[in-house]
Amino acid sequence: MAHIRPTGSGNQRDSIPVSPTLAADLPRPGLPLATGEDRGRLLWVSVLAVVMGLSAGLIAKLLLMLIDLFTQLFFYGRLSFEPATPVGHALGAWVILVPVAGGLIIGLMARWGAPAIRGHGIPEAMEQVLTNQSRIPARITFWKPLSSAVSIGTGGPFGAEGPIIATGGALGSLVGQLLHVTALERKTLLAAGAAAGMAAVFSAPVSAVLLAVELLLFEFRGRSMIPVALAATAATGVRYLLLGTEAVFPMGVVAPADIQAVAGYALLGALIGSLSVGVTRVLYWIEDGFERLPVHWMWWPAIGGLAVGLVGYVAPATLGVGYELIHAILNAELSISVLGFLCLMKFIAWSIALGSGTSGGTLAPLFIIGGALGGCAGLLAAQALPVWGIDPALAALVGMAAMFAGASRAFLTSVVFAVEVTHQPNALLPLLAGCATAYLCSTLFMRHTIMTEKISRRGVRVPTEYDADPLAQITVEAVYSRRAVTLQAADSLESVREWLLQGGKHSYHQGFPVLDAQGRLRGVVTRRDLMALDADAAAPVEALIKRAPVVTAPSYSLRDAADHMVRHGVGRLAVVDVSDVGSLLGIVTRSDILKAHQRRLEEQDMRSRAFNVGA
């Protein structure tokens, strides 16, 4: 009745030539760049990314001009696009009302325009990537930069980088929706737009790519990184044309640090990383407080604006983007008392404003807070422990990067960013040490980050590690059963049912390959097919075959096999010889694929046991 068919190991090849009639039944190879179709798609997405990079560079310039326009209008009463900062205003106590007015405008924009403009934009983009196939509403492309320009132009203590990152991401998502690309390609375009925005503001293309990888792509593959890198390159080129090639935050030449100094910067990173946990928790504690207010959320930005105005009246340097303040911090131009005061004031204004749900960013405020803390620590160390060789300016740079690394856990982004915006390659080793310890302390004391806390509360799970897919590393050859239990095409259904009901040794399988008289594969039938009440018991088994067999080959990966099962809605694949697709070699089932995870689970169990023993 049923036959146990011992088979050989099959012919293993990297490239599988199949006939056109059976090509659709074979899974696609695991190397996307191996086919002309995938190369064409990658080229198309890359071209789109370059166009978006050029567009993001122009949008970044327009956003900076809008910020200058609103700053001139609200603080100086002038209609001008000339660069301006709120620090030199002559409004006196009336300055308190300027951020309040900005908050009222933001509240109206959010309620009647697009509620998604609230917040700094990156968590919202992450949520769309993880839950909505990277679809961001088109109106965000207009409302986000406009609302952010109003917010910052009326004294909001935010940087321009967060809004342009969100705007670039929205632009990429919009292009992806208009062109009807795949969800993966749309995610790539979203990340490319976001990276282009960051690169255009900070002239930091490499860290922009790393930011996209660590916070938006959640993968490290050429198919996504190439378009993102091209977009960041194009945006940086536009910035070079419009604003020049100088460092965004120039500082004095940094000398190479010796081993004692590197150890000191590592300790500083640990301190800043621990403080980043407190910064994140306070921010969301304030946000939770606004949630409990007995007024509509439309009014919250105005309430937050009142706090910004009061702080700005006492400390005008906290108003606006604060890039001049970062420059002063990185060049050790401020005393310990001034640094401590400005750090506290900036934190109060920023945390209350962002917690109120206004439109703003996190990067520049975190840089200022971390840089001020690092500068204070560096000045103290230089006075108390001169033998360590701590440079206060470099300590400020390490503190700036470590604060962002601890709060966001974008580790590589933080390290490379600090080098790119200062053009100080000798700072790389201290930055690496400081950001690594900051990341370590952050993971010890905080489960989520400043970017993921909000969306994790909504039940969104954010990937934190980028492991290699274990199924992609194992071939079908390693797991498939070479002794397939087969049925003959001419067997009557009645006799097969009798064999199944007898419960023989090999009758427990849920699917059986069907062979013709010459031993050639005709198809696969399941136990459900065989036991169906509407099937004619006198008919041969081959009458139950409804479609061509869904097959794989030994040299394909288990990821290919699993994807093929999902596409065709089957729980098993016939394994065939690539040179003779009618020649059955065996069968691979879902259980075989699940068993491939056993080695990974064993390694995890070993690590857990080792940790418990050590503890």
Residue ranges and CATH numbers for the domains of the chain are 3-30+469-595 (3.10.580.10), 33-243 (1.10.3080.10), 259-456 (1.10.3080.10)
Does pLDDT of 370 surpass 80?
Answer: yes
Q: How many helices (H) and strands (E) does the chain have?
A: 22, 7
What mean pLDDT is predicted for residues 542-554?
83
Crossing angle of helices 183-202/122-131, nearest 10°? 170
Q: How many residues does the chain have?
A: 615
Which pLDDT does position 571 carry in this prediction? 84
Q: What is the mean pLDDT of residues 50-79?
A: 91
Give the pLDDT band (50/70/90) at residue 270. very high
Residue-wise pLDDT tens digits, 163-185: 888 888 888 888 888 887 888 88
Report the mean per-residue pLDDT for the chain.
Answer: 84
| pLDDT at position 17 over 60 | no
10 Å CB burial of residue 305 (0-12, 13-18, 19+) is buried
Helix, strand or coil for residue 82? Answer: coil
In the prediction, which pLDDT does 25 show?
Answer: 44
Contact 351, 282 (CB under 8 A): yes
Beta bridge partners of 17: none
SS3 per-residue string spanning 477-503 = HHCCECEEEEEECCCEHHHHHHHHHHC
Q: Is 120:154 a contact under the CB 8 Å cutoff? A: no
* pLDDT for 233 beyond 50: yes
* Angstrom distance (rounded) from CA 615 to CA 15: 49
**438 — pLDDT class (breaks 50, 70, 90):** very high
Of 28-32, 175-179, 545-549, the least confident: 28-32
Instruction: Kindly tell me if the per-residue pLDDT of 250 is higher than 80.
Output: yes
